[in-house]
């Protein structure tokens, strides 16, 4: 059996204030195997950070499934978790796995249904894409989209869906000319490919044919919305990883974006004491 794991499935509570206001706070953090940026064990520091952040739903990457249970237990009895392939979603709202144990997802990801304040089901997908090659990230996105399309009758843009995670992908609009040149220099130094932006363009473009990805191949845009780009308030530096680039995101489908407001987007400092990534959060007001 594939290593799917869940804890307290179906359980979860919603604070009264959130129930009235229909707010839901979500976040994503690559916990780096619970080693901080200095290579020191950081489980307790992760717990402390997440408690301070006061989130409802958290997507975690590089999180061994045994630690997903341990982390949910440390946060409180109301927290539930699902985990697969080093990815986890933990939630203090009611949570149910969205995958069949006999048919695991094709990429590093895990999916769950979260019952948001007000009772609306939201599909949450925790994603961790390849860290070196954009072509492989595009291939992983194609596989993920195909898998999710087979799990529901409606197109992805028509479903209430959140994608949270470490996408290892850049967004063109984050960088002016000087910043883009600096990113390119860092990538040459580390033996990586030059900056490319196809993955996030595919995710956020509304065009039927979003991006030519080489060799005559094109992939339709998904029409998702980058939560930070539409947030009423943004805090924290733009970079989310040790190379000072933004690669961790919260994306929402068009259907969800049309029925909620992003009150805030925060990049909360977690480097180097907690991880080698910062914590990325979004506070949503659901209609």
Q: Is 216 left (phi over 0), alpha (psi -120 to 50) or beta?
A: left
Pairing of strands 23-30, 248-252: unpaired
Cα–Cα distance for residue pair 244/285, rounded to 1 Å:
29
Residue 19 has pLDDT above 60, yes or no: no
Residue 151 banded pLDDT, cuts 50, 70, 90: confident
End-to-end CA distance of the chain: 40
Q: Supply 129's token pair.
A: 């894409």
Count helices and strands in the chain by DSSP H and E runs? 8, 16
Question: What integer best gives the mean pLDDT of the chain?
Answer: 89
pLDDT over threshold 60, residue 15: no
Note whether 281 and 26 are within 8 A (CB). Answer: yes
At 152, the pLDDT band (50, 70, 90 cuts) reads: confident
Average pLDDT over residues 160-178: 95
Bridge partners, 42 (sequence order): none
Separation CA 240–CA 7 (nearest Å):
29
pLDDT beyond 90 at 203: yes
Per cent of the chain over pLDDT 70 is: 87
Task: Quickly state the pLDDT bin for 28 (edges 50, 70, 90).
Answer: very high
């Amino acid at each position: 059996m594939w290593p799917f794991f869940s804890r307290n499935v179906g359980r979860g509570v919603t604070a009264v204030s959130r129930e009235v206001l229909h707010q839901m706070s979500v976040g994503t953090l690559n916990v780096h195997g619970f080693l901080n940026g200095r290579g020191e064990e950081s489980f307790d520091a992760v717990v402390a950070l997440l408690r301070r952040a006061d989130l409802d739903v958290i997507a975690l990457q590089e999180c061994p499934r045994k630690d997903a249970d341990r982390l949910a237990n440390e946060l409180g009895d109301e927290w539930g978790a699902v985990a697969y392939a080093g990815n986890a979603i933990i939630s203090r709202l009611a949570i149910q796995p969205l995958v069949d144990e006999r048919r695991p997802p094709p990429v590093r990801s895990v999916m769950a249904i979260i019952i948001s304040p007000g009772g609306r089901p939201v599909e949450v997908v925790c994603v961790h894409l390849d860290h070196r090659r954009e072509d492989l990230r595009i291939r992983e996105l194609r596989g993920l989209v195909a898998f999710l399309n087979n799990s529901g009758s409606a197109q992805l843009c028509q479903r209430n869906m959140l994608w949270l995670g470490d996408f290892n992908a850049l967004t063109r609009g984050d960088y002016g000319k000087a910043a883009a040149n600096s990113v390119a220099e860092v990538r040459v130094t580390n033996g990586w490919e030059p900056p490319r932006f196809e993955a996030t363009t595919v995710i956020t473009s509304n065009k039927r044919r979003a991006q030519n990805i080489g060799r005559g191949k094109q992939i339709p845009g998904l029409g998702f919305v980058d939560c930070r780009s539409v947030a009423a308030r943004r805090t924290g530096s733009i970079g989310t990883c040790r190379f000072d680039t933004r690669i961790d995101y919260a994306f929402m489908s068009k259907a969800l974006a049309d029925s909620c407001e992003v009150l805030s987007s925060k990049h909360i400092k977690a480097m180097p004491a907690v991880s080698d990534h910062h914590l990325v959060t979004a506070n949503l007001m659901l209609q």
